[in-house]
């Protein structure tokens, strides 16, 4: 699968050599700039963060200036198709959409699904808790509206999201974080989920860690520090 350099100096220039990225800029650049202006965001200082919620089938784009403390919600996209059930991805072919703490590690301007943003699944936790040697890979946020574990948002919407991420990368954001939740982990929803799956500690342990991150971000609009433990759990705070 084609990927391209992460060198900030040439990244946007290299990306725009590809017809679909060039078209995305033609179609969406004015809208992106208007949205940033509306939110007092400078495209040359842009930092972005992505949250995905499987149950609600929503993907949120948050943004801030590099020198701002807090993120702002600037766009929400529908995840137009899902696969699997709530809970983490543990092996290739299980149809699961991952859950946990990730970042964008691939920009694919020639995707089979128009444009795509690769997520670094399997992460350190997945490698500990998943089926060794059969973890699978190639999880993307992409265009089209089909999935066997990815996050499709249609060709039209991926143009815009891809452009936001290209701009953030070009302006020095080395990693674009992506947190994938089973659902919006309000206290009520978290209690419902953990009660329903109380015998499934693989799910509930992960959801406890995600709950800490969800609450921290909801309160502060800042990302908590997350580290991976040898057990596959996370230290969040």
Integer Cα distance of 196 and 204 in angstroms: 10
Integer Cα distance of 209 and 175 in angstroms: 21
Side-chain-side CA neighbours of residue 92 (13 Å): 7
97 in Cβ contact with 84 (< 8 Å): yes
- Residue 145 bears catalytic tag: no
Q: What token pair was written down for 88? A: 């983490």
Choosing from 150, 165, 212, 234, the catalytic residue is 150
117 in Cβ contact with 104 (< 8 Å): yes
Report which of 170, 176, 175 is spatially closest to residue 16, judged by C-alpha positions.
170
27 in Cβ contact with 161 (< 8 Å): no
Choosing from 18, 106, 142, 145, the catalytic residue is 142
121 in Cβ contact with 89 (< 8 Å): yes
Integer Cα distance of 63 and 220 in angstroms: 14
Report which of 81, 77, 127 is spatially closest to residue 102, judged by C-alpha positions.
127
Q: Which residue has the tokens 């954001």?
A: 173
214 in Cβ contact with 84 (< 8 Å): no
Active site residues: 142, 150
């Amino acid at each position: 699968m084609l990927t391209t350099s992460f060198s900030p100096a040439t990244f946007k220039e290299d990306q725009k050599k590809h017809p679909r990225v060039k078209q995305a800029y033609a179609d969406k650049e004015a809208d992106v700039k208007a949205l940033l202006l509306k939110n007092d965001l400078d495209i040359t200082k842009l930092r972005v963060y992505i949250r995905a919620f499987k149950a609600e089938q929503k993907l949120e784009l948050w943004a801030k200036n590099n020198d701002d403390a807090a993120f702002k919600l600037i766009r929400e996209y529908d995840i137009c198709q899902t696969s699997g059930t709530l809970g983490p991805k543990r092996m290739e072919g299980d149809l699961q959409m991952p859950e946990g703490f990730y970042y964008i590690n691939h920009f694919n301007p020639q995707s089979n699904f128009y444009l795509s943003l690769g997520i670094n699944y399997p992460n350190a936790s997945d490698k500990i808790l998943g089926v060794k040697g059969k973890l699978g890979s190639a999880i993307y946020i992409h265009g089209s509206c089909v999935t066997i574990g990815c996050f499709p948002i249609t060709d039209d919407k991926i143009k815009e999201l891809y452009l936001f991420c290209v701009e953030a990368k070009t302006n020095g954001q080395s990693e674009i974080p992506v947190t994938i939740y089973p659902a919006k982990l309000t206290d009520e929803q978290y209690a419902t989920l953990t009660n329903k799956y109380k015998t499934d500690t693989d799910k509930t342990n992960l959801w406890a860690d995600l709950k800490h991150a969800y609450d921290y971000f909801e309160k502060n609009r800042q990302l908590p520090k997350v580290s991976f433990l040898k057990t596959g759990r996370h230290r969040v705070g």
